[in-house]
Structure 1
Amino acid sequence: MGRLLVRLGVLVVGLLAMIVAGTAAQAASSVEKYPTKKQSARQAFTAEERQEIDDFVAGNVLFTLYHEAGHAMVSEFELPVLGREEDAVDSLAALMMIPEEPDEQQDAWIIAAADWFAMVYELDDSEMEYADYAGEHGLDLQRYYQIICLIYGSDPEGFADLAEYAELPPERAERCPDELAQVARSWVSLLEPHEGKAKKPIVVSYGDPGEYGDAADVLRESGVMEVVAEELSTTFAFPNQIRMVAEQCGEENAYWDPDARTITLCYELVDGARLLIVDDIRAR
């Protein structure tokens, strides 16, 4: 169990170090060239703000890809899931991104993935409807706190400030190390029998980005999809050919299609992440 757990915790190490420079150059330049709807004038960003933008985009793309890969594993390996599958693969994605040892860059990425849900919640001032409670996903703030809890549980002392900033209730914070351990035990026990190499490497492709050329540039130049595909292909013995595709979807989304055996990452989601953090920085 230990070997695979370490493997899960370092999936974003190694080749992903090569992502940072490409993502930074593309994301920063595209942000300044294409301001948001809220502000038409070009605005310069500090080095710290550029890094924040880069981390937010990279972290959310990584989390989304690992989340959808979780759905693929449940489907392809016929894994049992107790409770909502969406909650389970959220926890898996977090587990795969939380570093085994303290790492400032990886910490920034997983925290950015959590922040997405808090920021979306803050922007949505509409009243809740029955359909919101009946959805297959948890509520945005629930997803935020679940990820924050797992991050905190990995290093309570190191992430004490994060727990305080997030206003994680003390009674929940106390249980977070055990929650992380339970998530790790559960997923490792399910995935250990499927450790190995995929029958065929996961294939990556890019569709026509249309108006989302900047999002496509970020993905291509960073190589994030290729890195994730290679790491998954050499860690898990997928029995069938899996495809990972970036394309226009008409909405901010990502999904696993079990019939086509395809993980789709929508350009709109990548662009939406960029706009979300840029608007947040400009509103401060």
Structure 2
Amino acid sequence: MWRQRMVKVTGGLRGWPSLLALLLLGSIGAIGPTFAQDSTTEEESDPVADYFVGNLLFIFYHELGHGLIHKLDLPVLGREEDAADQLATLMLMDAGSDSVGGEPVLTAAIGWLDSWKKREGEAENSDYFDEHSLDYQRYANIVCLVYGSDPDNYGNLIEEWDLPADRAERCPGDYSSAILSWDSVMEGVWVTDENPAPAGNRSFTLDVQAAQSDETRAIAEYVVDQKVFDDLVAGMNESLILPSPIKVVAKDCGEENAYYDPETSQITMCYEWLATFMADAEKQAE
């Protein structure tokens, strides 16, 4: 049973597989407030790759959450988008450190904060009807779950990441509820010694398409050269067993987006959004 690999932390369970922690581009992680510690030499660090891959993985794991809800026919009491965000956060919590000693889950939080700041904190009426939480709320929910996983270790999030003290008191309960909920439905999904993957497990397949525009050609070539999705899909097949396959597709979409389609069992990662991640990463590193 996969939960035997988990360690009790702050009233919850922890130990979600890192699934590529240090494989993608040699690092994943964070750029932001002072949680990042310089644990490696400047030559070894790559904050642009850290930011890019940390945000890419959060979006992929979010869409994976939709895929699992579909494939496992899971009940969702609440908004499915919030449940998918919870899974993405939990998946990244144990993803190791990046090249500058930061944490990829907090990179994702910074990504949503950056997205909110681009809009100068203004929400339109349609945003309140959207199935997703506001970008700032997604940032806040990630920070809360991280803090709730270990308040002693992440106490700096209260002051440096604007986590209100009264909200912080409830974060350990939120973390425990989130991980216990996903734990209860992931039985038999994780690959363990007791639940080995079948030979040549193809729970995930891959289709990386060529870019169709000059605006996305560079990012498409980048993910191919670095084998980003090749390594990601290989890691998923080493870690998860699904009742039927999910196809991962990287392609031009004509918009900044990523989505799971239950009719085709397909996670689509759009080059347009990946290009935005890279541009934001370069700005963060300036």
Q: What is the aligned length?
A: 258
The aligned amino acid for 1:223 is K
* TM-score of the aligned structures, taking structure 2 as reference length: 0.80
> Once structures 1 and 2 are overlaid, which stretch shifts more, 273-282 or 258-267?
273-282
Cα distance in 2 for residues equivalent to 1:153 and 1:48: 34
Q: In the alignment, is residue 136 of structure 1 matched against residue 141 of structure 2?
A: no
Matched with 2:259 is 255
Matched with 2:217 is 213
Q: Compute the RMSD of aligned alpha carbons.
A: 2.9
1:18 to 23, 41, 44: 23
User: CA offsets, 1:47-90, max 9 Å, x none?
Assistant: 59973221110101111111111110001110001111000010
Q: CA deviation at 1:126?
A: 7.1
Cα distance in 1 for residues equivalent to 2:79 and 2:234: 28
The aligned amino acid for 1:118 is L
Structure with higher helix content: 1
Cα distance in 1 for residues equivalent to 2:130 and 2:5: 32
Judging changes above 3 Å, is the alpha-carbon distance between structure 1 residues 93 and 22 closer, same or farther for their aligned structure 2 residues? closer
The aligned amino acid for 1:262 is Q
Cα distance in 1 for residues equivalent to 2:90 and 2:58: 10
Query: Which secondary structure does the structure 2 equivalent of 1:162 belong to?
Result: helix
Asked if the contact 2:106–2:143 (Cα under 8 Å) also holds between the matched residues in 1, the reply is yes
Q: CA deviation at 1:155?
A: 2.3
Query: Which secondary structure does the structure 2 equivalent of 1:17 belong to?
Result: coil
Asked if the contact 1:151–1:159 (Cα under 8 Å) also holds between the matched residues in 2, the reply is yes
Matched with 1:154 is 149
Q: In the alignment, is residue 54 of structure 1 matched against residue 49 of structure 2?
A: yes
Asked if the contact 2:27–2:50 (Cα under 8 Å) also holds between the matched residues in 1, the reply is no
Q: In the alignment, is residue 169 of structure 1 matched against residue 167 of structure 2?
A: no
Judging changes above 3 Å, is the alpha-carbon distance between structure 1 residues 126 and 180 closer, same or farther for their aligned structure 2 residues? closer
Q: CA deviation at 1:233?
A: 2.8
Q: CA deviation at 1:200?
A: 3.2
Cα distance in 2 for residues equivalent to 1:124 and 1:280: 17
1:125 to 115, 120, 129: 120
Q: Which structure 1 segments of 5+ residues have no match?
A: 25-45
Query: Which secondary structure does the structure 2 equivalent of 1:203 belong to?
Result: strand
Q: CA deviation at 1:280?
A: 4.3
Q: CA deviation at 1:251?
A: 1.1
Q: In the alignment, is residue 179 of structure 1 matched against residue 191 of structure 2?
A: no
Matched with 2:230 is 226
The aligned amino acid for 2:18 is V
Matched with 1:279 is 283
The aligned amino acid for 2:174 is E
Judging changes above 3 Å, is the alpha-carbon distance between structure 1 residues 49 and 234 closer, same or farther for their aligned structure 2 residues? closer
Matched with 2:274 is 270
Asked if the contact 2:203–2:246 (Cα under 8 Å) also holds between the matched residues in 1, the reply is yes
Asked if the contact 2:21–2:28 (Cα under 8 Å) also holds between the matched residues in 1, the reply is no
Cα distance in 1 for residues equivalent to 2:120 and 2:108: 21
Q: CA deviation at 1:178?
A: 1.9
> Once structures 1 and 2 are overlaid, which stretch shifts more, 83-92 or 268-277?
268-277
Asked if the contact 2:69–2:75 (Cα under 8 Å) also holds between the matched residues in 1, the reply is yes
* TM-score of the aligned structures, taking structure 1 as reference length: 0.81
- Identity percentage of aligned residues: 33
Judging changes above 3 Å, is the alpha-carbon distance between structure 1 residues 160 and 49 closer, same or farther for their aligned structure 2 residues? farther
Matched with 2:38 is none
Q: CA deviation at 1:91?
A: 0.5
Asked if the contact 2:203–2:240 (Cα under 8 Å) also holds between the matched residues in 1, the reply is no
